[in-house]
Structure 1
Amino acid sequence: FPGLMNRDYEIITSRAVSEINHYDGTGTAMSIAANRVSFTFNLTGPSLTVDTACSSFLFALHYALRAIKSGDCEAAICGGVNCIIDPRTFVSLSKAKMISPEGISKPFSKKADGYGRGEGCGVVFLKPLKKVRLLVQQLEISQVVCLNFVSSALIMTIPELFFQIKFKIDEAFLKNLCTSSSTGKGSHI
Structure 2
Amino acid sequence: MSRALSSLLAYFTPLASEVHTDAGVVTLLTPETNILALNATYCEATCPAQPRSPLLLGTQVLPGRDVGGLRVGVYEPWLEDSKIVVEQVSRLQLATWAGVLAEAYDTPAWAAPIARHLGHKLEGDVQSVLLLAYGASETLGALLWREGQAHLWGTLDGAVDVPLLNAAAELDTSPLLVSVPDQSRVAVQEAEVVTFTLTGP
Q: Normalization by structure 2: what TM-score?
A: 0.24
Which structure has the larger Rg? 1
Greater share of residues in strand: 2
Q: Normalization by structure 1: what TM-score?
A: 0.25
